């Protein structure tokens, strides 16, 4: 398996705005050593972009689907690609 960093794009559907979801996601991503952001979307979804090792991104994805997040996650739609870079830390946007 390649050690090259990857980019996870995850659209999180459910009751995930106004409940501390982005803050929680940021904390988990930083614990995993990932860079990126979590951003509210006008339609009520949260878009999570995370870059780093594939196993760390998969761990974040598992956490997003775990049922332990703030609010209620109904669906997470994921997309994978190579890391783009240029980000430092993990932001709530």
Q: Catalytic positions, please?
A: 22, 40
Query: CA dihedral in degrees (19, 41, 84, 21; nearest 10)?
Result: 10
Q: Which residue has the tokens 């009751």?
A: 15
């Amino acid at each position: 398996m390649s050690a090259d960093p990857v980019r996870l794009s995850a659209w999180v559907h459910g009751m995930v705005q106004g409940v501390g979801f982005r803050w929680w996601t940021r904390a988990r991503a930083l614990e995993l050593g990932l860079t990126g952001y979590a951003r509210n979307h006008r339609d009520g979804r949260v878009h999570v972009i995370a870059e780093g090792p594939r196993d760390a991104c998969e761990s974040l994805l598992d956490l997003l689907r775990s049922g332990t997040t703030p609010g209620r996650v109904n669906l997470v739609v994921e997309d994978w690609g190579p890391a783009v870079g240029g980000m430092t830390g993990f932001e709530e946007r």
